[in-house]
């Protein structure tokens, strides 16, 4: 007889939601994580009384009321609104691209003026059907915005020229012809007051959890430990990379504790010049309106992913998408394994979409109980 109904590999949001719901349904679960902590990439740790986002800024936002109501069972959220800034040389711009950005860029006041400038630059480009990210960016916002606020940042982030990147990547960027610095248009936004780790802890309450535990070592020692597996690690690693490696971008975070109460006056500031090696600086206290005497900042340095590094952003180009589909075919040969989350599904997920996907998958498997 198997010891657990479900072995859940990965203690991030997807695994935590599945564990929480399965426990409520009476299933015996074991959650493991190869890291020394729970919460996956949303892990926050206390440094100088500040909840530091160890693996990059995570801002919860959603238009899905059911998801918002779900996470509010486990945390009290503040009213933080993401309003990042961008630095280009000695100039400071508001993000997302809105009338504050356009006014600073072109010394104008009205949406009509901004639209006219953008339309003229698009027409001058001659682009009608964008074939790559550079063309898509110019087609959306003109050459000025592309050159100052998109090109350098994007090429640092992806480690590739914009002409070599697919057009769809840039479609995530919002353009707004109003004086509104709110990056997300979702009605529900905020940051857990006690940090994401505390939220995940509440989700995992009453569930067996083992950190510093590698799935492959465990399954080798105890192959019958569970009847079913929920796997949120890299799908190509699960199959021992037999079809080749999927590509990712990785990030190195360099934290600094500064003996001052306020370093940059904003939680997120992007650095869009190509010759500055980091893409942005995060000042964590501003996520929860902190008043501590010191502050903690993190500089983010993107890099190409290699085995042994943390994978962050899937490179969803044609080659890797085809390879992932081939791995999905392999997954059909192990029906007792559910692949989920960012790495298991090889896609970039906002947090609300991760939670929605986990709840949907639970509803699906619950029918078989």
Strands (E) located in 25-164: 29-32, 44-47, 50-53, 60-62, 85-88, 91-94
- Distance from C-alpha of 103 to C-alpha of 1, rounded to nearest angstrom: 68
Given 249, 327, 342, 352, the catalytic residue: 249
Measured distance CA(238)–CA(232) in Å, rounded: 10
Question: Residue 108 in contact with residue 102, Cβ under 8 Å?
Answer: yes
Task: Please tell me the distance from the alpha carbon of residue 94 to that of residue 96, in angstroms, as a whole number.
Answer: 6
Sign of CA dihedral 22, 28, 33, 36: positive
Q: Is 176 a catalytic residue?
A: yes
* Catalytic residue of the set 155, 236, 300, 356: 300
Question: Residue 275 is encoded by which pair of tokens?
Answer: 């010759």
301 is catalytic: no
3-state secondary structure of 14: helix
300 catalytic, yes or no?
Answer: yes
Give the Cα separation of 155 and 215 in Å (integer): 35
Give me the catalytic one of 153, 155, 236, 280: 280
Active site residue 88: no
Distance in angstroms (rounded) separating the CA atoms of residues 155 and 341: 26
- Interhelix angle for 351-366 vs 13-24, to 10°? 30
Which residue among the candidates 5, 144, 186, 350 is catalytic per the annotation? 350
Q: Which of 172, 240, 259, 329 is labelled catalytic?
A: 172
Radius of gyration of the chain (CA): 22
Extract the tokens encoding 205.
């309450």
**Cis? peptide before 78, omega within 30° of 0:** no
* 348 labelled catalytic: yes
Q: Which residues contact 71 (CB under 8 A, 6 or more apart)?
A: 60, 77, 199, 355
Cα-Cα-Cα-Cα torsion 45, 48, 53, 55, nearest 10 degrees, comes to: -80
Catalytic residue check, 347: no
Return d(Cα 102, Cα 117) in angstroms, integer: 10
Residue 143 among the catalytic residues? no
Active site positions, annotated: 172, 176, 249, 280, 300, 348, 350
């Amino acid at each position: 007889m198997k010891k657990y109904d479900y072995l859940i590999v990965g203690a991030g949001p997807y695994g935590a939601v599945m564990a929480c719901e399965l426990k409520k349904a009476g299933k015996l679960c074991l959650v493991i994580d190869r890291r020394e902590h729970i919460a996956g990439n949303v892990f926050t740790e206390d440094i100088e009384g500040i909840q530091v986002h160890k693996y990059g800024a995570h801002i919860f936002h959603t238009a899905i009321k059911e998801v918002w109501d779900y996470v509010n069972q486990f945390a009290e959220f503040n009213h933080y609104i993401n309003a990042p800034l961008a630095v280009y040389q000695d100039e400071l711009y508001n993000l997302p691209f809105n009338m504050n950005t356009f006014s600073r860029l072109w010394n104008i006041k009205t949406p009509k003026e901004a639209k006219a400038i953008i339309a003229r630059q698009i027409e001058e480009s001659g682009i009608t059907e964008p074939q790559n990210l550079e063309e898509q960016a110019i087609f959306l916002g003109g050459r000025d915005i592309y050159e100052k606020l998109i090109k350098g940042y994007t090429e640092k982030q992806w480690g590739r020229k914009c002409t070599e990147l697919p057009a769809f990547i840039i479609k995530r960027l919002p353009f707004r012809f109003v004086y509104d610095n709110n990056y997300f248009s979702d009605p529900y936004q905020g940051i857990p007051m006690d940090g994401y780790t505390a939220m995940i802890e509440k989700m995992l309450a009453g569930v067996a959890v083992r950190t510093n535990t590698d799935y492959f070592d465990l399954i080798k020692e105890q192959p019958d430990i569970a009847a079913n597996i929920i796997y949120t690690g890299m799908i190509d690693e699960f199959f021992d990379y037999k079809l080749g490696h999927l590509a990712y971008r990785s990030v190195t975070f360099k934290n600094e504790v500064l003996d001052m109460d306020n370093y940059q006056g904003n939680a997120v500031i992007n650095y869009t010049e190509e010759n500055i090696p980091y893409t942005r600086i995060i000042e964590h206290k501003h996520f929860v309106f902190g008043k501590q005497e010191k502050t903690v900042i993190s500089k983010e340095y993107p890099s190409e992913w290699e085995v042994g590094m943390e994978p962050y952003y899937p490179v969803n180009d044609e080659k890797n998408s085809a390879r992932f589909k081939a791995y999905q075919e392999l997954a059909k040969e192990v029906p007792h394994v559910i692949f989920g989350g960012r790495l298991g599904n090889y896609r970039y997920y906002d947090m609300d979409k991760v939670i929605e996907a986990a709840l949907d998958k639970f509803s699906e498997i619950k029918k078989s109980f």
